[in-house]
Structure formats: C-alpha cells, structure tokens
Chain A
Amino acid sequence: MFGRKFTGRRQRLAGVVLAVSSLVALAACSSATDAQSKDGKTTITLSMQNPNVKTADPATWAIVKAFEKANPDIHVEVSGQAVAEHLQALSIAAQSDTLPDVFWVYKATAEDMLKAGKLMNLKPTLDDLGITPHLPKSTVSNFTAQDKIYGVPYQGLLTGLWVNKKILSDNGLEQPTTFDDLVNVAKKLKSKGIVTISDGANQSSFSVWSFLVWLDRFGFEDKIDAILDGSESYDNADFVRMYEHIAQLRDAGAFASNVSTQTYQQAVDQYLKGKAAMLDAGVWASSAIQDSQVAADTVFWNGATFADGVGDQNIVMNVASAPLVVDHKVAGNSKKLAAVKKFLGFYYSDAAQQLLVDNGQPPVTDYEPKIDATKQSVLKSALDVARDPKLASPQSQPDLLVSTAVSSAMYDSIYGVIQDQLSPRQAVDLVQKALDAE
C-alpha cells in the first residue's frame, strides 16, 4: 500500500516536473525570439527568399555579418527558403501573427499585408535616419500606400541580357541592337546548334526579365493605371504585337528545346558553360558570371529596340526589387525597434552599399560605388549601362505593379508563347482574364 502511494506520488511529481519544464522551455523559446536572448543580445529575425542566404545571397549575408560586427549587442537571425515556400511560410505566419521582424516579400503581398495591419509604417524611421532622400523617388512612391512607407528596397533590379561576345564574333555576328538584328542572330545561331537566349521555365516561371522590359517598350508604363482601373485592356494591339515578336523570336530558334523542363539555374549553367549566347537575367548573376569561363567575353545588354514599339525605346530596367518590410509588432517592442532601426540605418549606409557592390549588386541608394574594373568587369559592364545618360529607367518592373495572380499570368503568357503553347492573342487574353478575376 505504502509502495503504491509512494509510486503514485512519484508519478504525479514527475508529471508536474515534466509539465513545468515544458512550460519553461516554451517560455524560454518565446522570450528568445520576443526580446533578448540569454547572452543579453537583442535578436531580430530576417527572413529571405533564398534557401541558403550565405551562398545564394552573399550580399545580404555580408551586410548582416558587418552589421553584427558593428553592433555586438544585436544578433540577426537569418533564415531563408525558396520563393514559393517563403511566401507560403509568410502567409501562415501572418495568419498567426508570428511574422519575422524583417522580411522580403512581393510588393503586391506587402500591400495586402499592410491592408491587414501586419506591417509597420517605416516613414518615421526612415525620416529619423535620413534615409529617404538617398533613395530614388520612384522607389519610395512604389513602396508607399495609405500614406505609409511599408517597404525599403532590398536590392536593385537591373535586368536585361548578358551577352557572350565571343560566341557572336565566332559566328560572324555583331551584338544586336534592334529586334530585327536579334532575330537574325537567332537564325544564324540556330543553324549552328547554339542557343541564343538561355531561359528556364521549370519552377522559375518568373525568369522572363528581359521580356518584361519589352512590355515597357510597348507602352506598359503608360497603360498600366488604365488597365488596372478597367478603362484599358491588356488585350490591346500594342501588347499583341509584342507577343507576336516573342513568337517570331521563338520561330527563329532563339530558345533551347528544353526551355520548359530546365530550371533558371540550369539556364544560368548553360550560359556559364558557353552553350548559349545570351542569358536572360539581371545583375545578381554577375558574380557567377565573373567566376566563370565566360567572364571576359560577357557584356550587359539592355535589350532590343523595336521599330514598332511604343514610346521611348532607349530604356534600361534599373529599379528597386521587391521590398524588405517590417512586422507591425516591432513598433511595440522598444528593444527590437531600436535594433531594427540600427539595422536599416546600416543597410542603407555607404559601407553597406559598398558591400552590395562588392558582392555583385548595384547600390540601392545614391551612393557612388568603388568598382574594381578588372575583378568586377561583369558588374561594371551592367552598371555602365545603368548609368548611361542616354538611357532612362521605367519606374518599376511591370510584374511588381500588379497582384501576384496577375504577375503569374504575365509570366505564363510570356513563357506560353516562348514554348509555343499560346498564341499571342491567347497570351494577352490569359492576362486579361487574371485581371478580370481581381
């Protein structure tokens, strides 16, 4: 009897100890993320759209490490996942109000989050820090809604085509300027079995940057407000003509036969191995190209101009990418708020902007970077084009001005024509239907 009682008491005691220790463990976890970690450092969480930030996004990693070195009392907990998983995780976190402190997100999603009261208004912080005057006005207005600045530029979006001059010259070709030149290049290279433009649609339907610039060469920027308010249709003669040009380029054999099954990364590899004359990408690819066998032969091209285009053809897509935003709860936590302020202040400092450049990214402020013309020849060629006074930049990349569903339809419409799955008319219809469903 005594033994049973003793055993029962011991079991109850063990149960209580287990329950208390579980609660303590949970409390410890949440306190580490909510305020200060046990070593006395303030922790802020930074969630990015790359599975391995250290290797896939060395510029951000370098900034974080430099920031931690300069602010030993702050720890930045960096995490990352591929874009789709990242967005999925953010949606779930937004539902449970457990968003990371600072995170990358698409502009359209950020605006939905702002409407839902999930994001912090950064205007007072940016004004305090004196950052706003150093950012392009178009960037600030792009990331402003409801009179609140909800985001800051993560990195620059300088996109176009990387061109392997050697492949062109070996085949008696010059770098094209106009669309007709580009079609001729594609025809000649196709006859030699060489891919003209390396693209990959598998799991990366968004990788159509150079064709998004085409949209701007057919009047997208002037039309988009009217398209969004329904007074103009995406299914218009100018855009149909643009898609017809994509079809012409496809028929000239510009794309790889496995464009639908290869990923963006495989498309990059194709270019880096000298198996494609051009790569549809942006400045973020400059580091990989610099480290490859094609570095010395690579130049940046802002894309073909069109005799039947609409508006200024002398443009280069040099805009802010999707923003970094801050969870609304940060505003209510003085330690986190101070840490996030310091982080943003550092991110847009000249030192951090130089780190961006050192890691193959253009600065996002008005900072004039120092570039090693030999070791960073690839990046320099892109920045030279971006700084060409004869070229203007649109205010934003077209897909960043519409909702996620419409931008998906835009990617599908472009790849649909590239892969001969959609006619130009069907392509514009697909996007218009997505707009109608909004």
Chain B
Amino acid sequence: MVWVSSRWKIALMLAPALALFTAFFVYPVGYAIAYSFTNSAGFGGAKFVGIDNYTALLDDPFFWQSLRNTVVILVVSLVILIPSSFALALLLRRRIAFAGGLRALVFGPAIIAPILVGLMWVFILDPKIGLLNRLLEPLGVGPIQWIGGNSLTPYSVSLVFVWSSIGFAMTIFYAGLQLVPNDVIEAAKLDGATSWQQLRHVTIPMMRETFAIVTVLLITNVFKIFELVYMLTGGGPVHRSETLVSYMYFVTFTNQRYGSGMAIAVVIFVLGALTSLAYLAAARRRSLA
C-alpha cells in the first residue's frame, strides 16, 4: 500500500498546478502591480513614481467616465440579464415543441466572438446606416444616436452584452433547475402551493448557489468588456463610451503609458474582485439567515 497523504507527496502533486498558477496568474498580476508604480513606456528603463499613476487617475475625467459607463453596464445587465435568463430557463424547461432547438438558438450568441457581435450590432445601431433607425424612420421617430452619442451608448452596449450573454446564463440556470429535486416540488404542490409560490419559496431558494455563480460570472465579464466597445464606437466620441478595459487599452497601447495603464488594470482587478466578493458575502449572509 502506498500512502499519498504525506505532506511532501501532496506538495509534489500540487507543484505543477502551483507552478502554472504562479507563471500565468501570480506573476502577471504582480508584474502589473509593480509596473503601476513606474513611468514605464513599455521598454527601456522604468522609473519608480510612487502612487503618481493612481493619483493622476483621480484627476482624469476619461477614467471616471469609463468607470461610470462600466457601472451603468453592470447595473443594466444585472437588472435585465439575471431575471430574463432565469425566465428563459424556466420556459425552456417546460415540455414545449422544439425546446432543444430553442435552447440552442438562445445559446447561439454566446458562441459568437465578441468582436463579431460588435461588428454585427454596428450595422443595427449606427445612427446613420443602422437597421434600427431605418425601421423607426417610417414611424416618424427621428434618427436616434444609439451609439456614438453622449447618453445612450453605455445602455446600448449593455443591451448588446445582454444579448450576447443571455444564452450562457440561461444554460447555467437550466442546469441548476435540473438539480432541483422533483419530490420537493411535488410536496409543495400537494400542500397547495401555486406555481408562483413554488417558484418563489422552493425553486429560487434552492438555486441560490446558481444565482451566485451567474451573478459573479456576470460581474467579472462586465469588468472585461472590451471588444464590444472597440467595434461599436472605438471608445468615442472622445472617450465618452469607454469602459474601464477599453480605456486601459487606450492608455497602455495607444498612448504607450504602460505605468498608467497598469494602474488602471490594477483598479479593474480590485474592483472586479471586491464586487464579486461583496456579492458572495451578501449571498452567504442571506442563506445563513
């Protein structure tokens, strides 16, 4: 008999995963954090500048604009995506004709590369050549600046994000619904619970973990939105539609201010992690209550 539970054997077995984790996560994150305290231009010497890159962000209106846009997209997506994808999962769980085909159809946008999603939606939302304004024109609705204007762009990006993510979220909810034990539902029915009461008091409470997973995935995905904005508006006009990641890309690679770009990357990392952790803590408190 060979025992594998000795410490050095456990350490040996964990070593490859730890090495990969260190190489592909710890090192890049550490590198980004270290460079966020420098004036690096990407090559040549980098001078330590303390927290200058972080304090400069406080005075950078485009950074605040991109943060506001990211929050708008997050809120709109949470409000629309979670209920609608759950509703779709409930609907498609029923015994309806072509349910499998419909599930595949709803999942479809999730397998399209975000850059293509952006390209497709430019042809729908563009104020001049877009399909949507052309459809609205005969109804007497004047050209609306869905993208590229001052106000609607983050909402339009949110809707495109919801469209592209709904199938993925629906699939997770659908899988979660399969795990809700039928006998509990049957018991609720025998107790005279209506469909709404079954959903409200049985199904949803039993799917707390699934809701938590979908919400955390949604939060982290919103903090990573780049291609949609890049294709829809390129961040314009004048950075009005930047998200945190697209603005980080602009600062790092277009302006070639690696130090400042890495500071934004660290802020994104911290905000994404904190938001997810805060949600998980709140969800855990609710489930313990």
User: Which residue numbers of A lie inside 8 Å of B, CB to CB?
Assistant: 84, 87-88, 91-92, 94-95, 109, 112-113, 115-118, 201-205, 256-258, 260-263, 404-405, 408, 412, 415-416, 419, 421-422, 437
Q: Bound state CA distance, A405 and B126, in angstroms?
A: 29
Number of A-B contacts (CB under 8 A): 97
User: Which among B148, B240, B254 is the interface contact of A258 at CB below 8 angstroms?
Assistant: B148
Q: Are B56 and A437 within 8 A (Cβ)?
A: yes
User: Which residue numbers of B lie inside 8 Å of A, CB to CB?
Assistant: 41-45, 56, 122, 126-129, 143, 147-150, 230, 232-234, 236-240, 250, 253-258
- Contacting residues, chain A, for B239 (C-beta < 8 A): 412
Q: Closest CB-CB distance, B262 to chain A, in whole Å?
A: 13
- Known pairs A94-B42, A258-B126, A437-B56; A405 contacts B257 (CB<8 A): yes
Q: Are A257 and B236 within 8 A (Cβ)?
A: no
**CB-based nearest B residue for A418:** B237
User: Which among B43, B237, B255 is the interface contact of A404 at CB below 8 angstroms?
Assistant: B255
Q: Are A421 and B238 within 8 A (Cβ)?
A: yes
- Known pairs A112-B44, A201-B236, A203-B230; A261 contacts B253 (CB<8 A): no
Q: Bound state CA distance, A421 and B62, in angstroms?
A: 13
**CB-based nearest B residue for A89:** B253
Q: Are B234 and A201 within 8 A (Cβ)?
A: yes
- Known pairs A91-B42, A112-B41, A112-B44; A416 contacts B238 (CB<8 A): yes
**CB-based nearest B residue for A426:** B238
Q: Are A405 and B256 within 8 A (Cβ)?
A: yes
Q: Are A92 and B42 within 8 A (Cβ)?
A: yes
22 pairs across A/B with beta carbons < 8 Å? A88-B253, A112-B44, A113-B43, A118-B44, A202-B148, A202-B234, A203-B230, A256-B128, A258-B127, A260-B149, A260-B233, A261-B122, A261-B127, A261-B147, A261-B232, A261-B236, A262-B129, A408-B250, A408-B254, A415-B237, A416-B238, A419-B237
Q: Are B256 and A87 within 8 A (Cβ)?
A: yes
- Known pairs A258-B129, A404-B254, A405-B255; A116 contacts B44 (CB<8 A): yes
- Contacting residues, chain B, for A109 (C-beta < 8 A): 256
Q: Are A203 and B238 within 8 A (Cβ)?
A: no
User: Which among A116, A203, A416 is the interface contact of B43 at CB below 8 angstroms?
Assistant: A116
Q: Are A118 and B43 within 8 A (Cβ)?
A: yes
- Contacting residues, chain A, for B44 (C-beta < 8 A): 94, 112-113, 115-118
Q: Are B126 and A262 within 8 A (Cβ)?
A: yes
Q: Bound state CA distance, A258 and B126, in angstroms?
A: 7
Q: Closest CB-CB distance, A108 to chain B, in whole Å?
A: 8
Q: Closest CB-CB distance, A127 to chain B, in whole Å?
A: 27
Q: Which of A113, A260, A404 has the most CB of B within 10 A?
A: A260
Q: Are B41 and A205 within 8 A (Cβ)?
A: no
**CB-based nearest B residue for A201:** B236
Q: Bound state CA distance, A204 and B237, in angstroms?
A: 11
- Contacting residues, chain A, for B250 (C-beta < 8 A): 408
**CB-based nearest B residue for A118:** B43
Q: Are A419 and B43 within 8 A (Cβ)?
A: no
Q: Are A422 and B126 within 8 A (Cβ)?
A: no
Q: Bound state CA distance, A422 and B44, in angstroms?
A: 35
Q: Bound state CA distance, A203 and B254, in angstroms?
A: 11
Q: Bound state CA distance, A263 and B240, in angstroms?
A: 17
Q: Closest CB-CB distance, A107 to chain B, in whole Å?
A: 13
Q: Are A421 and B56 within 8 A (Cβ)?
A: no
- Contacting residues, chain A, for B126 (C-beta < 8 A): 258, 261-262
Q: Bound state CA distance, A383 and B42, in angstroms?
A: 39
**CB-based nearest B residue for A407:** B255
Q: Closest CB-CB distance, B56 to chain A, in whole Å?
A: 7
Q: Are A421 and B42 within 8 A (Cβ)?
A: no
Q: Bound state CA distance, A405 and B147, in angstroms?
A: 25
- Contacting residues, chain A, for B45 (C-beta < 8 A): 116
- Known pairs A201-B237, A422-B238; A95 contacts B42 (CB<8 A): yes
- Contacting residues, chain A, for B234 (C-beta < 8 A): 201-205, 263
Q: Bound state CA distance, A376 and B240, in angstroms?
A: 41
- Contacting residues, chain A, for B143 (C-beta < 8 A): 257
**CB-based nearest B residue for A406:** B255
Q: Are A261 and B43 within 8 A (Cβ)?
A: no
Q: Which of B129, B239, B256 has the most CB of A within 10 A?
A: B256
Q: Closest CB-CB distance, A168 to chain B, in whole Å?
A: 22
Q: Are B256 and A261 within 8 A (Cβ)?
A: no
Q: Are A261 and B148 within 8 A (Cβ)?
A: yes
- Contacting residues, chain B, for A405 (C-beta < 8 A): 255-257
Q: Closest CB-CB distance, A85 to chain B, in whole Å?
A: 8
Q: Bound state CA distance, A88 and B256, in angstroms?
A: 8
Q: Are B253 and A91 within 8 A (Cβ)?
A: yes
Q: Bound state CA distance, A116 and B237, in angstroms?
A: 34
Q: Closest CB-CB distance, A264 to chain B, in whole Å?
A: 10
Q: Are B236 and A95 within 8 A (Cβ)?
A: no
**CB-based nearest B residue for A405:** B255
Q: Are B258 and A260 within 8 A (Cβ)?
A: no
Given contacts A203-B230, A261-B122, 17 further A-B contacts (CB under 8 A): A95-B43, A116-B45, A201-B236, A202-B148, A203-B234, A257-B128, A258-B128, A258-B148, A261-B127, A261-B232, A262-B126, A262-B129, A404-B255, A408-B254, A416-B237, A419-B148, A419-B236
Q: Bound state CA distance, A260 and B232, in angstroms?
A: 10
Q: Closest CB-CB distance, A286 to chain B, in whole Å?
A: 26
Q: Are B127 and A202 within 8 A (Cβ)?
A: no
User: Which among A91, A115, A117 is the interface contact of B256 at CB below 8 angstroms?
Assistant: A91
- Contacting residues, chain B, for A203 (C-beta < 8 A): 230, 234
- Contacting residues, chain A, for B256 (C-beta < 8 A): 87, 91, 109, 112, 404-405
- Contacting residues, chain B, for A91 (C-beta < 8 A): 41-43, 253, 256, 258
Q: Are A112 and B129 within 8 A (Cβ)?
A: no
Q: Closest CB-CB distance, A417 to chain B, in whole Å?
A: 9
Q: Bound state CA distance, A118 and B41, in angstroms?
A: 13
- Contacting residues, chain A, for B149 (C-beta < 8 A): 260
**CB-based nearest B residue for A93:** B43
Q: Are A202 and B233 within 8 A (Cβ)?
A: yes
Q: Which of B150, B236, B238, B255 has the most CB of A within 10 A?
A: B238
- Contacting residues, chain B, for A263 (C-beta < 8 A): 234
- Contacting residues, chain A, for B129 (C-beta < 8 A): 258, 262
Q: Bound state CA distance, A47 and B128, in angstroms?
A: 36
Q: Closest CB-CB distance, A116 to chain B, in whole Å?
A: 3
Q: Are B238 and A94 within 8 A (Cβ)?
A: no
Q: Bound state CA distance, A437 and B57, in angstroms?
A: 12
- Contacting residues, chain A, for B41 (C-beta < 8 A): 91, 112
- Contacting residues, chain A, for B254 (C-beta < 8 A): 84, 87, 404, 408
